[in-house]
Amino acid sequence: MPDFGRYTTVAVEAAMEGAKILKKYFHEGFDVRYKREKDPVTIADEESEKAIKDVIAKNFPNHEILAEEAYAKNPKDYHDYKGYLWMVDPLDGTVNFKHRVPIFAISIALTYSGEPIVGVIYAPLLNELFIAEKGKGTYFNDQLVKVSDISDLQYSLLVTGFPYDFKQNPDIHIRYFKELHLRSEAIRRLGAAALDLAYVACGRFEAFWEAKNSPWDTAAGALMVFESGGKVTDYSGNPYSPFNLTLIASNGLVHDQLVEVLKGGI
């Protein structure tokens, strides 16, 4: 494992501090409220975010932080931001967490001028730690990982998610799901986009697609897919940005086959 720099070291420290809080509430219980339909938030989300932000701010007081529960900050305001910007999801997979399903994670990315340069994803109940740093590869629990070598969609295991406003336009999402289910070996829906991306990076899935993710959902995982030899674009095949409306992440070998189905957006 390479000697990662200070940014990565701090990101891992922050993730571990957030994880202590998530594990505590997972076992002890918590109240739930809803930001909008199908979008719960808990005290675990909020306290994990505070712990993560405190670690980052202590070490890098001049860096900006864009985090899911910090309602005062609009992601659109950072679309053209040129400095160091941390993107933090303190609990990706809150619905799973709420129902005591252990498939959830903390996702922390550092971007510079909109490009992810550090990514850390930690699933505390699974004890799975993914780390990526630009130019140094992707590591899963200290082991260098690569995307899979499957090149045919019919033998591929895919993963996806549905946006929170699914009810407003369900037909297009169901159409994509049906078409890709018919063309692939199978599809899974884990409920945590950060882990979906990490699992593409380590070869468990051949590809992930989803619309209307937030920047903090994808920035760390997208870097991991890039660094493990994969490809990340929008539905039309345009280059990845944390602010894209749509996302396809794959091992690269089946990417064009997904674009063929998904191009045109939502």
pLDDT tens, residue by residue, 5-60: 999 999 999 999 999 999 999 998 777 776 655 556 788 999 999 999 999 999 99
Domain 6-145 indexed as CATH 3.40.50.1450: no
The CATH-assigned architecture of domain 153-262 is 3-Layer(aba) Sandwich (3.40)
Can you give the length of the chain in residues?
266
Asked if residues 97 and 195 have their Cβ atoms less than 8 Å apart, the reply is: no
pLDDT in tens, 111-163: 999 999 999 999 999 999 999 999 999 999 999 999 999 999 999 999 999 88
Please state, rounded to an integer, the average pLDDT across all residues of the chain. 92
Q: Is residue 164 scored above 80 in pLDDT?
A: no
Write down the pLDDT at residue 65.
Answer: 96
CA-CA distance, 156 to 254, in Å (whole number)? 8
Question: Could you tell me where the DSSP H helices lie in the chain?
Answer: 6-28, 43-59, 94-98, 170-183, 193-201, 215-227, 255-262
CA-CA distance, 132 to 118, in Å (whole number)? 6
Q: Which amino acid is at 249?
A: A
Intervals of CATH 3.30.540.10 along the chain: 6-145
Write down the pLDDT at residue 64.
Answer: 96
Least confident of 61-70, 100-109, 178-187: 61-70
